[in-house]
Amino acid sequence: MLRKGSELLLATGGDREVLLDLDYVTGNRGEPQTTDSYGSLQNGGFIPPRNLSAAAASSEDDEDDPIYIHCDKPSSRPEQPLGGNYFRDGRTKIDFVLVWEVKPRKHRSRWRGQSETSGPEEVGARAEEGSSRSERRKAQLARWRDKFTQNLQNAGILLEKEETASEKKTIHYLKLSAPWDVLVYYAEELILRAPLQAQPNPNFNTSDRILRKLYIPNVMAESLPNRPLDYYTCAFRKSKMEKFLGCENHDTYFTNTQRHRIVYELLARTVYGKRKRAEVGVARLLNEGAYTAAFPLHEGPFELPEFEVRPDELNQRQVLFQYWARWSKWYKYQPLDHIREYFGEKIALYFAWLGFYTAWLLPAAVVGVFVFVSGVMSMGTNTPAKEICNSGGSYLMCPLCKTCKPWNMSDICPMAKVGYLFDHPGTVFFSVFMSFWAVTFLEYWKRKMATLAHHWDCMDFQEEEERPRPEFAAMAPSIEYNPVTGVKEPYFPEKARLSRMLTGSMVIIIMLCVVMIFLVSVIMYRGIVSVMMYRTGSFVLRTQAGNIANISSSMVNLALILLMGQVYTALALQLTKWEMHRTQTQYEDAFTFKVFVFQFVNFYSSPFYVAFFKGRFVGYPGHYGTLLGMRNEDCGPGGCLIELAEQLFIIMVGKQLISNVQEFVIPKVKAWQQKRALNKVRGTQKSQEPRRWEEDYQLVECEGLFEEYLEIVLQFGFITIFVAAFPLAPLFALLNNWAEVRLDAHKFVCEYRRPVAERAQNIGVWFNILEALSHLSVIVNAFLIAFTSDFLPRLLYQYKFDNDLNGYVNFTLAYAPPSYTSHPMCRYKAFRDNNGNYTLIYWELLAVRLGFIIAFEHVVFFVLRAIDWMVPDVPESLGLKVKRERYLAKQALADNQEALLVSHRGSASSQASNASFGNMS
C-alpha cells in the first residue's frame, strides 16, 4: 500500500519503483479545484476526495523536494486471466501500459541498507555526492517516475506493476486503469459522443449499391462479424446519463478506444516535476528517457486460435487480420467501421482515403491503358515515322558533339516509332480527362469525408484549446498567461519565432540549391555518357546513346533523390523543433510544409527539366549554347516526351518498389531485434507464455501517418502533373496501392504497437496539398502539350500544308548556316532560316501554342468550377440525418422539456380564450 511523508522509505535507484495495490474502492467524486498554474494536478486532473488534502499538500511543498514512493512486492502472483488485458483480479481492464528499463547498480545493497536508518534528504544527498553524472540522472528519472505515478493515483487512476528481470536488466511494466467515475468525468470534459438511438447500419459503398441494383454478384463484398452498430449520438453529459443507451453497464459503456483516449489525456496532463519548468505529461517523460514506451494494449493475439471458433467469437484484432490484413483479401472492401472502432478515426480516415483513391484509380488506369494501346495500334499509321525510316541518306544530321560525326536520320527509325506511343492525339485527350478526374475525385472525396465524419461522430469535432507541446514547454524561456484559458503557460516571443522561421526558410532555400546542383551534375553525367557511347563507334551504342544515358542517369537521380530525402527529413525535423511551435498541430503543419516543398522539388525537378528546359537552349550549328564548357543537351531522336516517360517510369515505379520493400522489411527487422532483446531479459521464463504487455512491447512503435500520406501524395502528383507523357502512370499507381493497403494494414494489425486512438474529421493539410497539385496539373499539362509534344506542330502543318503529314519531317528541319564549314548542308531540328534566324513559321507556331494554353486552361478550369458547383460537399440525405440527430440531442438534453410543453400548451389555450373573448366583444 502507498505510504507518504515520514512513513515513506527512500528509493535512490531505478530499481526501487512503484507498486500500487488494487485496494482502491471507487466512490463519489468531488469536482476538481481550479488553479491558474499550468499543468498542475488540479488543472485538468481528477482528484478523489480521499486524496484532496494530500494533493493540496504536495502542491504547496517546494517542488525541488520530490515525493518518494515505496511498496512491497506480493509474495505470489495470481493466475492471469485469458486475454491478458486485465489486472490480477481478472476484472479491472488495462487501459494503458508504461514501460521502463533499469540496469542493476553497483553497491545497491549498501544504499538499500542505509535507507532503513536514514531520512530521504540525507540519503538522497549522500547518493548524489557519491555517484557519477549518469547515476544522478538515473536517480532524477526515478524521482520523476515516482511523483508521476503518485499523481496518477491521486487523480483516480488504478495501477498495478509487473516486471521481467535478469542479471543485466529489469523491465518494469506499470498497468493503468481508469475507474468508472474518472471515465465519466473526462468523457464530459473531452466532449465524447454518447449513443441516443440505434439505427440500421448505412451502406456508404457506392459500387456495392450499383451492383445490387443491377443484380450483379459483388465478389468484393464480404460479411464481417461483430460490425459496430450505428447510433444517433450527442455530447456526453453526466447529468443526462439515463438518456443514453447502455448506461447501466459500466464495463462496456465506454469503448476501449474511448478509454485509451481518456487515460492518455490524463497522462498528458499529469505533472511530475517543477511546474515552473512545465514538467508535465508522459510525452516529455518519454523524450527524457524516464519511460521507454507508453501504449494501450492490443485486444489479444492476431493469429486465429488452433481450435475452430465461430467468427463472432474472434477478438477485434483477429477480425481485422482475418478479413482485412491478409494478402488474400486484396480484392475485398475494407472494414472501415471495424478499423475505426479499433484504431480511431484518424487512422480509419487514412485508410478510407487510400481505398477511395485506389478505387478511383481504376477508371483512370483503364483509360490510360486504352490510350497506350491505341498508340501501339496506330504506330503503323504514323506518317512522320515512315518518312524517317524510308529516308535512307536523305537527311544528313549535324553532329551531336564536337568530336562526333554526322549521322543519318534513318538511324533513329525504331525510336521514332516508339516515340509515337507517348506523343499522339490520344495523350492530349488523356491529359484533359485526368484534369477532370483529379478535381472530380477531390469533390466526391469531400462528400465521402463528410459522410464518414458524421457516421463516426466527428462532423462537429473541433480540436480543443491545445496544450503546449512538451518540447516547447521544456525550452520556452518564460511563463505567461494564456489570454484564452487564463492559465499560465510556457511562452516564446513571436518575433523570435518569426526570425527563426526566416532562418529556417534560408536553410530550405540552400537545400533546394543543393538539389539543383545535383540536377546539374546528373545533366553533365548524361552528356559525358552520351559522348562516350558515340566514341565507341558501335552502331547500336551510337543509335541508343541517348536512351542509355537517360536511363542510367534516371537511376542515379533516383538514388540521389532517396538520399537527399532522408537527409532533408532529418534536417527539417530539427528545424521545426528549433522554430518553437507552441502546439502539436502547428508543429505538424510546419513540418509537413517543409518536407513536402523539398520533396516536390527533389522528385519533380528532373522531370520538369526534361519537359520544359531540355532542348530549349541548344542554339544552332556554329553557335551552340554551353554549360560549364559542355554543349547544352538536346532532346533525343524520339523527342523529349519519350525521355520524360522513361524518367517518370524509373523515378515513380522505382520509388514505389523501394518504399514497399522498406515497409515490408524494416518493421520485421525492428520487431526481431526487440523480441531478441526481451527474450534475453526473460531468460529462464522463456518456457512461460509471454503476457500481453510483453508481447506488445516487442512490437514496433507506430510513428504516425506522415510517411504514408507523403508517399501517396507524391504519387498523386506523378499521375496528374505529367500524365500527358506517361499514360500508364495510373495503372502502376493502382497496382502499387493494392499492395500498399495490405502492407499498411498488416503493419498496423500485426507489427505495430497499438496507437492511441485520435479523433479527426478530415485528412488535414494533405487535402489542401492535393487540391494545389490538381490545379497545378492543369497548367503543367497545358504547357507540356503546347511546348514538349509535337501535337501542335503537326496540327499546324495539317492545316497549312498537308492533311496526311507528307513532308512533315523536312518541314521541321533546318539547314546549317554557311558559316558552319565543318559539315556544310547538314540538317538540325528547328524552325530557322539559313542564317540561323527564326522563321515566320516559328512565330506562328508560338502564337498557336500560347493560344492553346489559354484556351485549355480556361475551358478546363470553367468545367472544374461547374463540377465544384454541381457536386455539393454534403449529400442531401446526410443533411437530413444531421437535422434528425440534432433534434434528438435537443430533446434528450433539455432540462425543462416537460415544463416547456406545459407552458406552451398554457399559452396556446390562453391565446385561444383571449381570441374568443375578443370576438364576443
One-character DSSP codes across 753-820: PPPPP---SS-THHHHHHHHHHHHHHHHHHHIIIIISSHHHHHHHHHHT-TT-TTHHHHTEEEPPTT-
Q: What's the Cα-to-Cα distance from 158 to each of 24, 153, 163, rounded to whole Å? A: 7, 6, 17
**Predicted confidence (pLDDT) at residue 5 exceeds the cutoff of 60:** no
Question: How would residue 914 be classed by pLDDT, with cut points 50, 70 and 90?
Answer: very low
DSSP class of residue 457 equals T
Give the Cβ contact number of residue 919 at 10 Å. Answer: 7
- Contact indicator for 188, 234 with CB cutoff of 8 Å: no
655 φ, ψ (degrees, to nearest 5) = -60, -40
Q: Decide which of 698 and 634 is more confident.
A: 698
DSSP class of residue 13 equals S
* CA–CA dist 627, 770 (Å, integer): 36
- Contact indicator for 739, 660 with CB cutoff of 8 Å: yes
Q: Which of 475-489, 830-844, 868-882 comes out lowest in average pLDDT?
A: 475-489
Q: Which of 219-233, 535-549, 684-698, 728-742 comes out lowest in average pLDDT?
A: 535-549
**Predicted confidence (pLDDT) at residue 687 exceeds the cutoff of 70:** no
Q: Which residue shows C-alpha cell 468484393? A: 220
- Please enumerate, as own/partner, the contacts of 52-55 that have beta carbons within 8 Å and a separation of 24 or more: 54/4, 54/154, 55/151, 55/154
**Predicted confidence (pLDDT) at residue 143 exceeds the cutoff of 80:** yes
Question: How would residue 225 be classed by pLDDT, with cut points 50, 70 and 90?
Answer: confident
Q: Looking at residues 821-832, what average pLDDT do you find?
A: 82
Strand 630-631 and strand 626-627: the pairing is antiparallel
**Predicted confidence (pLDDT) at residue 861 exceeds the cutoff of 50:** yes
**Predicted confidence (pLDDT) at residue 29 exceeds the cutoff of 50:** no
On the CB side of 898, how many CA atoms lie within 13 Å of its CA? 0
199-208, 549-558, 666-675: which has the highest mean pLDDT? 666-675
Q: First vs last Cα of the chain: how many Å apart? A: 83
* CA–CA dist 758, 344 (Å, integer): 5
Tell me what pLDDT residue 4 has: 33
Q: Looking at residues 656-670, what average pLDDT do you find?
A: 83
Q: Which of 59-68, 171-180, 363-372, 568-577 comes out lowest in average pLDDT?
A: 59-68
Tell me what pLDDT residue 471 has: 66
DSSP class of residue 289 equals T
**Predicted confidence (pLDDT) at residue 2 exceeds the cutoff of 50:** no
111-115, 621-625, 670-674, 775-779: which has the highest mean pLDDT? 775-779
* CA–CA dist 577, 588 (Å, integer): 10
The per-residue pLDDT for range 254-298, each reduced to its tens digit, is 888 889 989 998 898 888 887 666 677 888 888 888 899 999 999
The helix (run of H) or strand (run of E) holding residue 492 is: none
397 φ, ψ (degrees, to nearest 5) = -90, 145
What is the reported pTM? 0.79
Q: Looking at residues 311-318, what average pLDDT do you find?
A: 87
Q: Looking at residues 32-36, what average pLDDT do you find?
A: 34
Q: Decide which of 445 and 632 is more confident.
A: 445
Tell me what pLDDT residue 833 has: 86
71-85, 117-131, 363-377, 523-537: which has the highest mean pLDDT? 363-377
Q: Looking at residues 15-31, what average pLDDT do you find?
A: 35
Q: Which of 495-499, 638-642, 745-749 comes out lowest in average pLDDT?
A: 638-642
**Predicted confidence (pLDDT) at residue 915 exceeds the cutoff of 50:** no
Q: Looking at residues 596-610, what average pLDDT do you find?
A: 85
Q: Which of 480, 508, 474 is nearest to 494 (CA)?
A: 480
Tell me what pLDDT residue 84 has: 64
290: CB partners within 8 A, 6+ apart: 100, 141, 144, 145, 148, 272
Q: Is 44 exposed, middle or buried (0-12, 13-18, 19+ CB in 10 A)?
A: buried
Tell me what pLDDT residue 298 has: 92
Q: Which of 340-354, 502-516, 548-562 comes out lowest in average pLDDT?
A: 548-562
Q: Decide which of 310 and 402 is more confident.
A: 310
User: Could you tell me what percent of the chain has a pLDDT over 70?
Assistant: 77
* CA–CA dist 194, 234 (Å, integer): 6
C-alpha cell at 474: 521544456
706: CB partners within 8 A, 6+ apart: 588, 591, 592, 595
Question: Could you tell me how far CA 240 lies from the centroid of its own chain?
Answer: 38
The helix (run of H) or strand (run of E) holding residue 487 is: none
Q: Looking at residues 743-747, what average pLDDT do you find?
A: 92
Tell me what pLDDT residue 421 has: 80
The per-residue pLDDT for range 756-812, each reduced to its tens digit, is 988 888 888 899 999 999 989 888 888 888 888 888 888 898 888 888 888 888 888
Q: Which of 41-45, 209-213, 247-251 comes out lowest in average pLDDT?
A: 41-45
- What average pLDDT does the chain have? 76
Tell me what pLDDT residue 361 has: 94
**Predicted confidence (pLDDT) at residue 876 exceeds the cutoff of 60:** yes
Tell me what pLDDT residue 539 has: 62
**Predicted confidence (pLDDT) at residue 111 exceeds the cutoff of 80:** no
Q: Looking at residues 392-415, what average pLDDT do you find?
A: 79
**Predicted confidence (pLDDT) at residue 850 exceeds the cutoff of 90:** yes
Q: Is 882 exposed, middle or buried (0-12, 13-18, 19+ CB in 10 A)?
A: middle
The dihedral built from the CA positions of residue 182, 188, 193 and 196, taken in this order, carries a sign that is positive
93: CB partners within 8 A, 6+ apart: 85, 86, 87, 177, 251, 256, 259
**Predicted confidence (pLDDT) at residue 89 exceeds the cutoff of 90:** no
Q: Is 523 exposed, middle or buried (0-12, 13-18, 19+ CB in 10 A)?
A: buried
On the CB side of 210, how many CA atoms lie within 13 Å of its CA? 4
- Contact indicator for 515, 63 with CB cutoff of 8 Å: no
